[in-house]
């Protein structure tokens, strides 16, 4: 399929994990792809993997000024957008007694505040019939221990799908959410836990998944492409949960 021929898409956090897999699939379907990320080295590596028609921009979603800078750079490059996958985010898990203000602020600055103001800044660059897909999480629904701050940030992001849809539909822009369950990505190595804790947590999580495995970045990417293509033109303000049945059974 070539659903994104002659279209330009933006993937935040497109230099690893689900973001990179999604950017690659967008390119394979004909899109010009813009990716953002904090690390220049991994951005260059991702650009090589995605293809020659890729624009890689260093951008930190946790910096509120970065949203305006991103919009200005895209404007200078003459880029208008047909789809945005707002994928950048952080996940740090800790039990209630260990959570401090710094963890709270960092999580909400990136996952909520940064996401919101990125959408605000990029809205003038969206073509009519554009789609925004937000990367949510089943943690907003399942009450996993030690995930309280992360889960709350994703619940706020999921809420944006409905409220921003109401505001952006007059512009012809749809907003939806894809909420992954456990997916094998580099994000798990950045949860702030020791390797033994991570292994124990991964084993416990896998036992709760009816499919008895973690998802893959490529599987989630296919879901994002569906939600940002004309195939989902009648889907608005909706959360699509892709978790192997973990939150459903």
* Active site positions, annotated: 150
Pairwise CA distance, residues 246 & 142, whole Å: 9
Burial of 237 (0-12, 13-18, 19+ CB in 10 A): middle
Pairwise CA distance, residues 99 & 78, whole Å: 43
Instruction: Please spell the DSSP secondary structure of 54-105, one letter per residue.
Output: EEEEE--TTSHHHHHHHHHHHHHTT--EEEEEE---------GGG--HHHHH
Pairwise CA distance, residues 176 & 83, whole Å: 11
Q: Which tokens go with 102? A: 């710094």
How crowded is residue 100: how many other Cβ atoms within 10 Å of its Cβ? 8
Most distant CA pair in the chain: distance in Å?
51
Pairwise CA distance, residues 90 & 62, whole Å: 10
Residue 156 contacts residue 119 (beta carbons within 8 Å): no
SS3 232: helix
What are phi and psi for residue 242, nearest 5 degrees? -120, 90
- Separation of CA 96 from chain center: 26
Residue 39 contacts residue 61 (beta carbons within 8 Å): no
């Amino acid at each position: 399929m070539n659903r994104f021929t002659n279209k330009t898409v933006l993937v935040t956090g497109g230099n690893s994990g689900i973001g990179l897999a999604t950017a690659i699939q967008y390119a394979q379907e004909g899109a010009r792809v813009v990716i953002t990320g904090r690390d220049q080295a991994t951005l260059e590596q991702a650009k090589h993997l995605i293809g020659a028609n890729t624009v890689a921009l260093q951008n930190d979603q946790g910096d509120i000024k970065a949203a305006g800078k991103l919009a200005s750079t895209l404007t200078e490059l003459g880029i208008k957008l047909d789809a945005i996958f707002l994928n950048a985010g952080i996940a740090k898990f800790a039990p209630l007694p260990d959570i401090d203000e710094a963890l709270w602020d960092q999580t909400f600055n990136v996952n909520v505040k940064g996401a919101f103001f990125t959408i605000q800044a990029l809205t003038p660059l969206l073509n009519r019939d554009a789609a925004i897909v937000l990367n949510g999480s089943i943690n907003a629904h399942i009450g996993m221990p030690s995930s309280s701050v992360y889960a709350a940030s994703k619940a706020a992001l999921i809420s944006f799908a409905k409220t921003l849809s109401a505001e952006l539909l007059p512009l012809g822009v749809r907003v939806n959410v894809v909420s992954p369950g456990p997916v094998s990505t580099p994000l798990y190595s950045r949860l702030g836990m020791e390797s033994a804790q991570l292994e124990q947590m991964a084993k416990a999580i896998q036992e709760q998944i009816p499919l008895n495995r973690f998802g893959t970045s490529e599987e989630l990417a296919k879901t994002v492409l569906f939600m940002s293509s004309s195939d989902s033109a009648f889907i608005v303000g909706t959360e699509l949960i892709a978790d192997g049945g973990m939150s459903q059974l």
